[in-house]
Amino acid sequence: MIIYKHIVWDWNGTLLDDTWLCLDIMNNQLQHIGKPTISYDEYQRLFDFPVRNFYEKIGFDFSKESYESVAQNFIMEYTRRRFECSLHFGVHAVLKKLNDYGCEHSILSAYAEDVLIEMVEHYKLRQFYSHIIGLDNPYATGKVDEGKALLKELDAAVSDIVLIGDTVHDYEVAEELGIDCILINNGHHSKFKLESCGVPVVPSFSEAILHIV
């Protein structure tokens, strides 16, 4: 028996294994402005939404340079290299298994929607998702409003919906939407940081299934 009828998935870091790429690009940007690079552990500890806050934490001074310019440079490099990333292990198998149980799926992402749809199709996941929702801008400011609009489209009570993500922001979005949340510590935030949210934190997709069916 399924616990949730509809699963709302985050994309970056949750389905797509892109934390390493984001760190690599960030460190290149830091080197360009003469700042120290950061480690993987530091990235997971400091990463934040809105992403502008994260840039400031790691050394960018937006009184001296434009945030929009820095963000655009990141986005251009990420977009150029985006297909270097792979999905996390087991994504297709888990989605198929959950489909067999009768679960439906959506994606809710802070990624630009047009590029998000392109990537979902590239990784052959389109058939699993009834809705693919991203932002209409590239600046990763958050996704609460988009989440509220998504819930209005879903044929499910909030008690039948769960959001699965990899960051504290995903938990915050789920809280705003009034739905449950499961966090996977394979992405942009560490297990320690995710455990502060007080919701299930699992190491893999196969473990997430145990909280859904």
pLDDT of 111 reads: 85
- CB atoms under 10 Å from CB of 4, counted, come to 23
Q: Please determine, for residue 99, whether its predicted confidence score (pLDDT) is greater than 80.
A: yes
Convert the pLDDT of each residue in 61-86 to its tens digit.
999 889 999 999 999 999 999 999 99
- Residue 119 main-chain phi, psi, to 5 deg: -70, -40
**59-98 residues labelled b (16+ CB within 10 A) or e (exposed):** ebeeeeeeeeebbeebbebbeeebeebebbeebeebbebb
Q: Please determine, for residue 38, whether its predicted confidence score (pLDDT) is greater than 70.
A: yes
Where does the pLDDT of residue 51 fall: very low under 50, low under 70, confident under 90, or very high at 90 and above?
A: confident
Q: Please determine, for residue 137, whether its predicted confidence score (pLDDT) is greater than 80.
A: no
Question: What DSSP string describes the chain?
Answer: --S-SEEEE--BTTTEE-HHHHHHHHHHHHHHTT-----HHHHHHH--SSHHHHHHHTT--TTTS-HHHHHHHHHHHHHHHGGG-EEPTTHHHHHHHHHHHT-EEEEEEEEEHHHHHHHHHHTT-GGGEEEEEEESSSS----HHHHHHHHHHSSS-GGGEEEEESSHHHHHHHHHHT-EEEEESSSSS-HHHHHTT-S-EESSHHHHHTTT-
pTM listed for this prediction: 0.93
Return the CATH architecture of domain 6-17+86-209: 3-Layer(aba) Sandwich (3.40)
Give Cβ neighbours of residue 92 (< 8 Å, ≥ 6 apart). Answer: 124, 125
- Break the chain into its structural domains and give their ranges: 6-17+86-209, 19-84
Where does the pLDDT of residue 150 fall: very low under 50, low under 70, confident under 90, or very high at 90 and above?
A: very high
Average pLDDT over residues 4-9: 96
Convert the pLDDT of each residue in 153-204 to its tens digit.
998 999 999 999 999 999 999 999 999 999 999 999 999 999 999 999 999 8
Q: Please determine, for residue 44, whether its predicted confidence score (pLDDT) is greater than 70.
A: yes
pLDDT of 28 reads: 97
